[in-house]
Amino acid sequence: MESVLPRYGDRYGINNFLSMKRDPLEFLVSAHGQCGESVSMKCGPYRLVSISKPHHIRHVLKDRSEIYTKKTAGYKGMVGYLGNGLLTNPGGSEWRANSKLLRPLFWPKRIDNTDGIITYWVREYRKEISASALNNEPINFTSLFRRLTLSILCDIMFGLTEKTAINSISSDIDTCIHVAFAKLYDPFYWVKLSNISLEKRFQEARKRLREFSLVLLEHVPVKHAGTELGAYMQSILKGSGRSRTQCRDEVVTFLQAGHETSSTALNAIFYRVFSDRSLQVSLQQSIDQLPASKRYSLDNVDLVNQCIWESFRFDPSTWAFDRYAAQDDIICGEIPVEKGSFVVISPYVSHRLFSGFSDQENFNPQANFQYVGDLDRSEYIPFSVGPRICPGATMAHKEIRETLIGMLDGFDYVDANTDELRFKPSITLKLSGDLTCRPVIREASKKKNAITTKAVII
C-alpha cells in the first residue's frame, strides 16, 4: 500500500542543500535518524528519496533496475574525470554491451588464478615493513596501501609490473578524486581563488592518468603462469571496435574504481585493527592457526574474513550511491517516487541503522558474522546488488585477505595515530589523514626464526 514519506528539512531545500554540501554523510545519517528508514527531501533543485530497507533496495537496484539509471548529478560529475567507462555509463544498451564485454574478465576461473600475483605483491611491500621494524620507524600505511593496490591491479588487469611507473600515477589518482569530490560538493568551487592552482593540478594529473592508461593499453603484458588477464584485457578492448578514447576511459575507470575503493577499504580495516590491541592479537592467533588449505578461502568463517566482512559493513568504502528515476514508480507498492527524483542508497546508513545484524551499531566481527550463508544480499550491500553490482568484489576481497594475513604474520604494530583520525566522506569513505603505525618484529616469529636458523646451523 502506498504511503506518504516523511519529509526532512526545509521545504525549498536551501538549508538541506547547504548541509549536504558541508557533510553529505552526516546529512544522510541525521535525515534517517529523524525520519526513519525511508525519507524524502528537497535538496537544491533535486528531490531525493533515500531508502534503506532490503526489499526497497532490491526493487530499485535489481527488479526495476531498467527504470533507475545512473543519470544522476554525482555520476555526471565523475564523467569529467573518468570519461564514459562502465562505472559512469547511465545504463541502457551501451552499458549492457560494455558490461557483456568486460565482466567476463572477473569470472571466478580467471580471478582464482590471481592468488600468486597478490601474494607476490604483498611480500614485495612487506619488505618496507621489515625495513621500518629494523630501523624502529613508523610507516605510512595509507601510502603503502595506495601503491600496493595499484601494483596488484596493474599487474592482474594489464600485466604491468614496473613499480616506478605505478607509483608515479598513484598520487595523480588521489588528486583527481579529491578534486572530483570538491566539485561535486563545494557549490563555491569555481569562485574560490585558492582553487585555481588546485584545478591546474587536477588538469595535469588527469592528463598524466590518461596518458598512463594509453601506455597500459599498448605495452607488452608480463605473462604469469596460469593467468593472462593483461593480454586478455588488451585484446578485448582493442578488438572490440571501440575508439582509443573509449578504451582509455575504460582503463581509467578500472584504475580508479579498482584501486581507490580497495586501498580505502584496507585503510579502514587496519584502522580498526590498530585501534584494538585485543583484536590484533586474536587475528594473529587466527592467522597462526590457519591451515594452508584455507589461506585463500573467501567463504571460510575465520576471524580474518569476519573482520573483512565487518569492515565492509561498518565502514563501507562506497558509503552511498544513487539512481535517477526515469519514470514515476511506487517502490514495492509502498514508496512513491516521481520521475526525475534521485533515489539514494547508503550502505553506511542501512548497514548500521536498519539491518538485522545482531550488533549492528558497533564494529563487532564475530557477533555480526557468525555465519554468512543466510545473509540477505539486499541487506548487505558494500558492493551493491543487481546488474550493476561491483565486478571487482572477489578481487578486492582476495587482496584484502592476503594483505591482512601477510602484514600481521610476523609483526606487532604499536604507536598508531588512530586517535587523531576519523572517517570522513569523499568519493569514498576515507580517513581524515594518513594512517601511520610502528611495526615491531613479533617475539613469537623471532623465536620461530631462531629455531629455523639453529636447525640450519646444526
Interface residue with ligand HEM, options 114, 261, 350, 426 (CB under 6 A): 261
Residue 254 engages ligand HEM in binding (rule: CB under 6 A): yes
Residue 265 sits in the site that holds ligand HEM (CB under 6 A): yes
Report, in Å, the least distance between residue 131 CB and ligand HEM: 27
CB of 224 to ligand HEM, least distance (A): 17
CB of 429 to ligand HEM, least distance (A): 9
CA gap 31, 157 in Å, rounded: 40
321 lies in the site for ligand HEM, by CB under 6 A: yes
Cβ at position 409, least distance to ligand HEM in Å: 22
Selected binder of ligand HEM within 83, 221, 365, 382 (CB under 6 A) = 382
Instruction: Spell out, one character per residue from 140 to 169, where the chain touches ligand HEM: x when CB under 6 A holds, - when not.
Output: -------------x----------------
**Can residue 262 be called a binding residue for ligand HEM (CB under 6 A)?**
yes
Least Å from the CB of residue 87 to ligand HEM: 4
Q: Smallest distance from the beta carbon of 391 to ligand HEM, in angstroms?
A: 5
Nearer to ligand HEM, 395 or 407 (CB): 395
Contact flags string 217-246 toward ligand HEM, x per CB under 6 A: ------------------------------
- Total binding residues toward ligand HEM, as defined by CB under 6 A: 23
1 close to 333: Cβ distance less than 8 angstroms: yes
Alpha carbon distance 335, 111 (integer Å): 39
Helix axes 303-314, 277-288, angle to 10 degrees: 140
Cα–Cα distance measured from residue 179 to residue 195, given in angstroms and rounded to the nearest whole number = 9
Considering only residues 99 through 128, tell me which ones interact with ligand HEM, judged by CB under 6 A. 99
Which residue's CB is nearer to ligand HEM, number 365 or number 382?
382
Measured from the CB of residue 203, what is the shortest distance to ligand HEM in angstroms?
24
Cβ distance to ligand HEM smaller for residue 72 or 132: 72
**Residue closer to ligand HEM, measured from CB, 79 or 441:** 79
Q: Contacts with ligand HEM in 384-413 (CB under 6 A)?
A: 384, 388, 390-392, 395-396
Q: Of 31 and 105, which CB lies nearer to ligand HEM in the complex structure?
A: 105
Which amino acid is it at 342?
A: F
Three-state SS letters, the chain: CCCCCCECCCCCCHHHHHHHHHCHHHHHHHHHHHHCCCEEEEECCEEEEEECCHHHHHHHHHHCHHHEECCCHHHHHHHHHHCCCCCCCCCCHHHHHHHHHHHHHHCHHHHHHHHHHHHHHHHHHHHHHHHHHHHCCCEEHHHHHHHHHHHHHHHHHHCCCCHHHHHHHHHHHHHHHHHHHHHHHCCCHHHCCCHHHHHHHHHHHHHHHHHHHHHHHHCCCCCECCECHHHHHHHHHHCCCCCHHHHHHHHHHHHHHHHHHHHHHHHHHHHHHHHCHHHHHHHHHHHHCCCHHHCCCCCCCCHHHHHHHHHHHHCCCCCCEEEEECCCEEECCCEEECCCCEEEECHHHHHHHCCCCCCCCCCCHHHHCCCCCCCCCCCCCCCCCCCCCCCCHHHHHHHHHHHHHHHHCCEEEECCCHHHCCEEECCCEEECCCCEEEEEECHHHHHHHHHHHHHHHC
Of 82, 87, 177, 408, which one interacts with ligand HEM (CB under 6 A)?
Answer: 87
| Residues from 23 through 62 that contact ligand HEM (CB under 6 A) | none
Q: Which residue has the cell 525511508?
A: 38
**What is the torsional sign of CA 347, 351, 355, 356?**
positive
Q: Which is nearer to ligand HEM, 13 or 382 (CB)?
A: 382
317 binds ligand HEM (CB under 6 A): yes
Indicate the residue among 377 and 438 with the shorter CB distance to ligand HEM: 377
**Residue (386 or 410) nearer to ligand HEM, CB:** 386
* 257 near ligand HEM, judged by CB under 6 A: yes
With respect to ligand HEM, which residue has the nearer C-beta, 16 or 256?
256
- 364 φ/ψ angles, rounded to the nearest 5 degrees: -145, 80
Residue 309 touches ligand HEM, criterion: CB under 6 A: no
Shortest Cβ distance from residue 190 to ligand HEM (Å)? 26
Nearer to ligand HEM by C-beta: 382 or 406?
Answer: 382
Binding region for ligand HEM (CB under 6 A): 86-87, 99, 153, 253-254, 257-258, 261-262, 265, 317-318, 321, 382-384, 388, 390-392, 395-396
